[in-house]
Amino acid sequence: MVLNGDIRAAARLMRDIDDNRPQAVDELKQLYPRTGNAYIIGITGPPGAGKSTLVDQVTAVFRKRGKKVGVVAIDPTSPFTGGAILGDRIRMNRHATDEGVFIRSLATRGALGGLSRSTADVALVMDALGMDIVIIETVGVGQDEVDIVKAAHTTCVVMVPGLGDDIQAIKAGILEIGDIFVVNKADRDGADRTARELATMLEFRSAPAGSWNPQVLKTEAQRGAGIEELVGEILLHRDHLVSTGTINHFLRERNERHFMDILRDSLYRKALDHMATDATLERVVTGMGNRTIDPYSAAAQVLAGMLGDR
């Protein structure tokens, strides 16, 4: 039904994926051969940079161009209740009645790196649903928010002047993952300085000859200023990936990561099921407490038991 454009079926499947229900895997198996057509854009950056408003405006521009857009918005999970505000839907409310836009909010559920564990599969469903563009907005965790580069064809790093830590915010990994850098809220004091500092740092970045040269753009998402230019730069990056063949290398690496993530999660669940049969976890934890069992040997024994190599 998802392949026929059934929004409700897609929403149910995304819920099942996020809840880690077994029946979701069977549906994903059927959908996978019909995916690989959507272009994925990542929007990342520190909290308060205006990412959601920027996504809303970028979505509007793509809709004007006749493209169907899916949005995966990641929100932080409360460490106490496990819930999330999921406020991105509120900020993108004007697209709620547009059949060409599908917005899905996801909670991180403890995952680090800015994405939810179910992000890749939810994006896959949007792809199967017929979305031309899928925008993933990360949670806004700061310097270690680099997982988006594994999922998105084009990664836009959004900065904002006036945070008092413009350079520090992009030192640890962010500078390396950005395909496009956006100084949002460019009407604020310091926007030109922030853009210059970013451009200067990019000049010192070593890159192979013929590789993509990231640009620094200024936007005012609240007013829609600079959004057309941003979309134009995203499409230029897409053309570069295709024309240079870089996209093939990217897709191979993304597929490998996706498979390894699924394999790791599957092994973890299998290990929990295996240990539940004879209270292995309780015995190991107790043994670690009185130092009669070390966790390294215990882990090796569990793996050996799972593989039947006793």
Domain that holds residue 295: 258-306
Whether residue 249 is contained in a domain is answered as: no
Q: What is the pLDDT of residue 80?
A: 40
Q: What is the pLDDT of residue 310?
A: 46
Whether residue 280 is contained in a domain is answered as: yes
Tokens matching residue 25 = 């895997």
**pLDDT bracket for residue 94 (50, 70, 90):** confident
Is 115 in contact with 91 (CB distance < 8 Å)? no
Q: What is the pLDDT of residues 17-37, one digit of tens each?
A: 988 888 999 999 999 999 999
Q: Using CB atoms within 10 A of its CB, is residue 276 exposed (0-12), middle (13-18) or buried (19+)?
A: exposed
Shared-domain flag, residues 180 and 269 = no
Full DSSP string of 276-306 = HTTTHHHHHHHHHHTTSS-HHHHHHHHHHHH
Shared-domain flag, residues 202 and 290 = no
pLDDT at 134 over 90: yes
Whether residue 250 is contained in a domain is answered as: no
Domain limit, last residue, from 204, 222, 244: 244
Record the pTM: 0.87
Shared-domain flag, residues 229 and 263 = no
